[in-house]
Amino acid sequence: MKIQKLYYILLVLSCNLLLVLSGCGYSLHTKASLPFDAIRIGTIENKTLEPKLQDGLNRSLTGEFLKQGISVQNNAGYKLEGVIRKFELRVLSEKSEVASEYEVTIKGDFRLVDPAGKIKEFKDIGSPFIVSFYGSGKLNELIAYKEQASERALKDMAAEIVATFLYR
């Protein structure tokens, strides 16, 4: 009986080890495997009618690069530039002919310039997630919710930009 339990435990452990070794789609990236260790965030142009998106994206990009172990420096060889082309606030649902749920969409085109001047362009990058919020109250509350949703969308967009630059 004890031998059967031991065989069963060994079988389960070896199956788990086999699953881990065969991979599950994830991989570990060390700082040494990153294509660069410092970047400069150049001009991010806002071509939408929504004010200050470029400032929020700049902050979000800085935070996301730092999370990945990449420093943001003014004299770095690699430079990120971009244009925010789309900011859309769509009504998703209504209650009694009053909008109650909204969706924020932000997209843009970005490019990475390496120290030799070679350019990689990435078009139509945005938040990969749907960022929505509820609100049918006072206008100042709706504006506050919209600002929070926009900030979330910019953070998601920054994460997508950094992942695209590092792993594509």
Angle, vertex CA 167, rays to CA 161 and CA 168, nearest 5 = 85
Report the first-to-last Cα separation within the chain, whole angstroms: 53
- Structural domain includes residue 13: no
Q: Is the pLDDT of residue 5 over 70?
A: yes
Write down the pLDDT at residue 34.
Answer: 61
Report residue 8 as tokens: 């069963």
The number of helix segments (H) and strand segments (E) in the chain equals 3, 6
Write down the pLDDT at residue 25.
Answer: 56
Supply the DSSP string of 98-167, one letter for each residue. EEEEEEEEEEEEEEEE-TT--EEEEEEEE-SS-EEEE--S-HHHHHHHHHHHHHHHHHHHHHHHHHHHHH
- Structural domain includes residue 100: yes
Q: What is the pTM of this model?
A: 0.77
- Structural domain includes residue 4: no
- Structural domain includes residue 21: no
98 neighbors 155 (Cβ within 8 angstroms): no
Q: What CATH number does the domain containing 62 carry?
A: 3.30.160.150
Which domain range does residue 111 map to?
30-167
- Structural domain includes residue 148: yes
- Structural domain includes residue 139: yes
The neighbouring-strand residues paired with 77 are none
Domain total of the chain: 1
Which run of H or of E encompasses 67? helix 53-67
Q: How confident is the model at residue 63 (pLDDT cuts 50, 70, 90)?
A: very high
Question: Which residue is it, tokens 């070896």?
Answer: 14
Q: How confident is the model at residue 100 (pLDDT cuts 50, 70, 90)?
A: confident
Please state, rounded to an integer, the average pLDDT across all residues of the chain: 85
- Structural domain includes residue 95: yes
- Structural domain includes residue 22: no
